[in-house]
Amino acid sequence: GAVVSQHPSRVICKSGTSVKIECRSLDFQATTMFWYRQFPKQSLMLMATSNEGSKATYEQGVEKDKFLINHASLTLSTLTVTSAHPEDSSFYICSARDAGVAVAQPQHFGDGTRLSIL
Amino acid sequence: AQTVTQSQPEMSVQEAETVTLSCTYDTSESDYYLFWYKQPPSRQMILVIRQEAYKQQNATENRFSVNFQKAAKSFSLKISDSQLGDAAMYFCALHTGTASKLTFGTGTRLQVTL
């Protein structure tokens, strides 16, 4: 089946550091990837839609300059949390849509990244 | 705008019994898809079952089945012969063609007891 690899799985860093999270589709091409944020015991909230070769589409209330998204190839999207602060601590999950199938086919999720800012 | 509501924050079921998780949704789209995802403690999102809105027949995947009531905008998940491994958070999700993105409910935590 389709596999999405997300790296790193866990990050602990100091306040003010910028952190990059990678999301890779391993066996399919993904023109569209999605980035979600999940607080403890809460649902997944879509942060942005990453489009290969173009600018990401951010959801209302998400700071574009804070959460930089780059989707430079059909298999890789990155999320960079710039100048991270403790309130950015959360679980971040990416998903990818297979470009070779219908739009409404299920998204394939990565295993998530737990980000802890000290 | 799309909304998904899961009114049961927690549910409990005995092993081998049956449990039903509720989900209601709202959308103005006529073409949409509904999903149930399972998130175990590992936090991985696992697709359980999907339903196309244009299909009247309820989807079934082994022990998992849905009761899709389109007019009522209801999409419940039934788990039969519950197993300990079914313990997880279950999220109902709506996908519409226009938005091209998933809208998740708040989740139901399912406990399976011996």
What is the C-alpha separation between A108 and B12, in angstroms, rounded?
Answer: 28
Among A10, A35, A43, the strongest candidate for a mutation testing the B interface, having the largest count of B CBs within 10 A, is: A43
Asked if B84 has any chain A CB less than 8 Å from its own CB, the reply is no
B106: closest CA among A54, A45, A30?
A: A45
Q: Give B92's contacts in chain A (Cβ within 8 Å).
A: none
pLDDT at residue number B75: 97
Contacts of A43 in chain B (CB under 8 A): 91, 104-107
The answer to whether B38 contacts chain A (CB < 8 Å) is no
pLDDT digits (tens, 9 = 90+) for B4-47: 999 999 999 999 999 999 999 999 988 899 999 999 998 999 99
Query: Could A111 and B43 be called an inter-chain contact, meaning their C-beta atoms sit closer than 8 Å?
Result: yes
Q: Shortest CB distance from A93 goes to which of B45, B47, B52? A: B45
Q: Does the CB of B43 have a partner CB in chain A at under 8 Å?
A: yes
Q: Judge contact between B82 and B112, C-beta under 8 A.
A: yes
- The beta-carbon neighbor of B91 closest among A43, A104, A111 is A43
Residue of B nearest to A111 (CA): B44
B89, B82 in Cβ contact below 8 A?
no
- Averaged over A23-41, what is the pLDDT? 91
Contacts of A50 (CB under 8 A, 6+ apart): A32, A33, A34, A35, A56, A69, A70, A71, A77
The tens digit of pLDDT for each residue in A39-97 reads 988 899 999 999 888 899 999 999 999 999 999 899 999 999 999 999 999 999 999 98
CA distance B14 to A81: 43
pLDDT tens readout for residues B76-110: 999 999 999 999 999 999 998 766 789 999 999 99
Name the residue among A42, A43, A91 with its Cβ closest to that of B43: A91
Place of tokens 């951010």: A58
Taken in order A55, A56, A59, A62, the sign of the CA dihedral is negative
- pLDDT score for B99: 60
pLDDT class for A104, splitting at 50, 70, 90? low
Minimal Cα–Cα distance from B106 to chain A, Å? 5
List, for residues A7-27, the tens digit of each pLDDT value.
999 999 999 999 999 999 998
Chain B residue numbers touching A42 (CB-CB < 8 A): 106-107
Of B93, B92, B91, nearest to B40 by C-alpha is B91
Q: What is the Cα–Cα distance from A45 to A89, expressed in whole angstroms?
A: 14
Asked if pLDDT for residue A102 goes beyond 70, the answer is: no
